[in-house]
A and B are shown apart, each in its own frame.
Chain A
Amino acid sequence: MAEPIIAIDGITKSFGAFKVLDKLSLQVMPGEKLALIGPSGSGKTTILRILMTLERIDSGHIRIEGEELYHMPKNGSLVAADERHLTRMRQKIGMVFQLFNLFPHMCVLDNVTLAPRLTKGTPREAAEKRAMDLLDMVGMSAKAKAMPAQLSGGQKQRVAIARALALSPKIMLFDEVTSALDPELVEEVLNVMRKLASETDMTMLLVTHEMGFAHDFADRVLFFDRGRIVEEGKPDEIFRNPKQERTQTFLRKIIAAGHRV
């Protein structure tokens, strides 16, 4: 039996009085593609942000490849992780954001090469060669010298995916990556992600409102509500035959809002 690549054990997270995650546990196997769905405020995005160390947890444990994310061993006991530990752990994880978060003062190529050059000391030439391969994969190599402001939303998001891939993470987190896009641009980003899912063995966690895509993409779908996983299963079980009432209600609303399943 293989080890889970991500093991989340009873984590809790509150923003003020609002409990976003409530003793949540979750195990993800290497190479698994997960879709996280649910109403806004249900905690699904917070999970990704916690895994990327953008938010801290209040209690509980997270292990990545068997190693504690927010704790480290020191003199025989576990203490809070320092920046060096976090830096090492982050190498395993990459994230793509809803609003792309490209660096607006750098061209596309520099956006993609910056992190490998700074964090891994990759020489410029090698970093650019790899960046061009990645940009080619997302269909953006022709725009390598363009500035982010000159790109459409879909193009920006494809660059952001290439940028995250440049560090070769084992786990990729996608946070509503098509939510900010015009409808006609959604498909070009989804196509890139399909390609990624089929061509690599990366572990992927996807927060999305694109139910049709979640169905095709995911090995497992998790339905979140009020900081807990209410229901999980294979895409067909969740989408065709949800058992929990809250899942049914949510999916009905989504379909009524015009999202195809």
Chain B
Amino acid sequence: MTDWSGYLSLILQGAVVTVQLTVMGSILALLMAFIAGLGRIAPFAVLRWLATAYIEFFRGTSIFVQLFFAYFVLPFAGFTLTPLQAGVLALGLNVGAYAAEVVRGAILSVGKEQYEACIALNLSRWQCMRRVILPQALLVMLPTFGNNAIELLKATSVVSLISLADMTFQANIVRSQTGNTLIPFATILALYFFFAMIIAFAMRALERRMARGLDGVRA
């Protein structure tokens, strides 16, 4: 009889790494999403061009390749990253590219009349964006951001390929040491699902909170 408690704690250690990657990757993705999303609609062509290049590049190449690039190729350019740093970088930049289009779309979904009210009240472009447009657009972004965060959570498993000991990596170790596939993989299946549920519930709660009193925009 195998003693599973040791193996399960190994998987839980991996779960901590998965959560770290998800949280830090999401923060970077959010940052990139707003920078590139606003860049896409900026009044300066250079900014629009840079944002488009970033988005198309990171959407158009595989996250697997991006990760290997960050971990194995960047050192040749003088940037040596730890597996965790490389993982956060690749995940954040990749998901950020998708989320940037969400930011852009949500901003464009706010009606022209809101911009006109800003002009009539003499707000600057930035004041209008920051105080009037973004708060309304954020509510439109949230459900898709929830999707993006869950995508990112699931994508974290690729980091096991650069030997970062996340949940999937540990499950593989347990599998090779015990010869049992069902228990370690059923465990991480349940854990991934559990984490995804937390993200989904958190996003819904946030959405409800932000939609308060806003019946005119989105119930």
Contacts and interface: CB of A to CB of B under 8 A. Distances in A.
Contacts of A87: 122, 124
B162 interface: no
Nearest to A102: B117
B138 to A, nearest CB: 9
A54 B216 contact: no
Nearest to A118: B127
A42 to B, nearest CB: 21
A54 B131 contact: no
B178 to A, nearest CB: 54
Given A103-B114, A147-B214, A149-B214, A167 B119 contact: no
A52 B114 contact: no
A105 B136 contact: yes
A114 B116 contact: no
Interface of B is mostly: helix
Contact of A97 (B116, B139, B213, B216): B116
A49 to B, nearest CB: 8
A8 B127 CA distance: 30
Contacts of A95: 120
Contacts of B132: 103, 114
Q: How large is the interface on B (under 10, 10 to 19, 20 to 34, 35 or more residues)?
A: 20 to 34
B121 A163 contact: yes
Contacts of A149: 213-217
A93 B116 CA distance: 13
Q: How large is the interface on A (under 10, 10 to 19, 20 to 34, 35 or more residues)?
A: 20 to 34
Contacts, number: 72
A101 interface: yes
B213 A150 contact: yes
A11 interface: no
A115 interface: yes
B123 interface: yes
B3 interface: no
Contact of B123 (A104, A119, A147): A119
Interface string B89-129: 00000000000000000000000011011011111110100
A107 B132 CA distance: 12
Nearest to B136: A105
Nearest to A148: B216
Given A104-B217, A149-B213, A97 B117 contact: yes
B167 to A, nearest CB: 39
A87 B135 CA distance: 23
Contact of B120 (A99, A107, A164): A164
Interface of A: 52-54, 83, 87, 90-91, 93-95, 97, 99, 101-105, 107, 114-115, 118-119, 147-150, 163-164, 167
The 6 closest A-B pairs by CB, nearest first: A147-B213, A115-B121, A149-B216, A101-B117, A149-B215, A95-B120
25 contacts: A52-B119, A54-B116, A54-B119, A54-B120, A83-B125, A104-B136, A104-B214, A105-B136, A107-B213, A114-B121, A114-B132, A115-B121, A115-B122, A115-B123, A118-B127, A118-B131, A119-B122, A119-B123, A147-B214, A147-B215, A148-B216, A149-B217, A150-B213, A167-B121, A167-B122
